[in-house]
Structure 1
């Protein structure tokens, strides 16, 4: 199994999931500007969409889209508890969180990395994020993790996306509970392993 990634990008989420699940895998960095991998391969032949993450399975099949990849990883090792059982109410709650993070947090925060983004566009993205993070804080409450008392792949994804706030100049200071949440996730041994492997710490 091979994970195609870019350090600190959304591929960090499945990277964390793979380590939390205890699955053996290879990593290959992708230059998203040239669309070539560190081995010189044409990444467009791996994922025609041209973006990461992409997970190449042992049978050669390539999975794309982070929310799908992390659920696949969790289902490979159900004993890891990274996702509730398929068909359960809790599983749909997990899918709801993954969808929310993807559409309501990932997209606006990632857009701020674009140097061509206008001030009006940036202000609109920040206004949306303010509303979504206010709601998120209320939903999280005093819980340690998004689904209560256990870490799931949704936490790995939220940790990844919140990590972009600093680099794009979006302060999380108004939400101290989210800062504490991200610090808490960041102390997990497998999360630290992933961060070190990507050269982020």
Structure 2
């Protein structure tokens, strides 16, 4: 059974959502990112030396990290067609492309969580966030769907929605990005997301 190492509300929430969507059996281990420990006091760095979430333990001692690897892996275990485009296909490459773009947006938002940013650095970070949000809005407008890929809801949507949820604590106004806000809201209204939020103590 898969074990997901997560921190409430972090980008690991995307993996949690997709695991719920697939209905695969899995367990949860909460990680304190500040101390790099699990709830029982064990050293998380012995599981993932980079100290980040998510990580999944596939079998004893076999750990996979990074959403761009974890989300397709979970999809391959599911019976949901949109989650498992064929290896070597253009659809598969488009999914990986979308996940890569999610990580671009993630990096832009993530810089704003750095403590004690100077006003100048904060302004520069906001410019990058704005650029990425404009790109996201254009992408959603151009592809003619409510989601990032033509097949409908899939792993990149879960990851992007989680990243967009950070706009509230970061005081980023999404008013100018109605399609991005709609994507976030659609994903967060899904039963799988609501169940993940409840399990992580966020709802």
TM (norm. structure 2) is 0.93
Aligned partner of 1:66 in structure 2 is 67
Is 1:7 aligned with 2:45? no
| 1:46 positional shift | 0.4
Q: What is the rounded CA distance, in whole Å, between the counterparts of 1:16 and 1:124 in structure 2? A: 32
Q: Secondary structure at the match of 1:63?
A: strand
Which blocks of at least 5 consecutive residues in structure 2 are unaligned? none
Aligned residues: 200
Pick from 163, 166, 179: which aligns with 1:164?
166
| 1:60 positional shift | 2.6
Contact 1:52 1:64 in 2 (8 A): yes
Is 1:134 aligned with 2:137? no
Write the deviation string for residues 1-28 of structure 1: whole angstroms up to 9, x where unpaired: 2111100001101111111111111111
Which blocks of at least 5 consecutive residues in structure 1 are unaligned? none
| 1:153 positional shift | 0.4
Aligned partner of 2:110 in structure 1 is 110
Q: What is the rounded CA distance, in whole Å, between the counterparts of 1:63 and 1:118 in structure 2? A: 35
Q: What is the rounded CA distance, in whole Å, between the counterparts of 2:7 and 2:81 in structure 1? A: 25
Is 1:120 aligned with 2:129? no
Contact 2:36 2:45 in 1 (8 A): yes
Aligned partner of 1:185 in structure 2 is 187
Q: What is the rounded CA distance, in whole Å, between the counterparts of 2:99 and 2:122 in structure 1? A: 23
* Aligned Cα root-mean-square deviation (Å): 1.3
TM (norm. structure 1) is 0.94
| 1:78 positional shift | 4.2
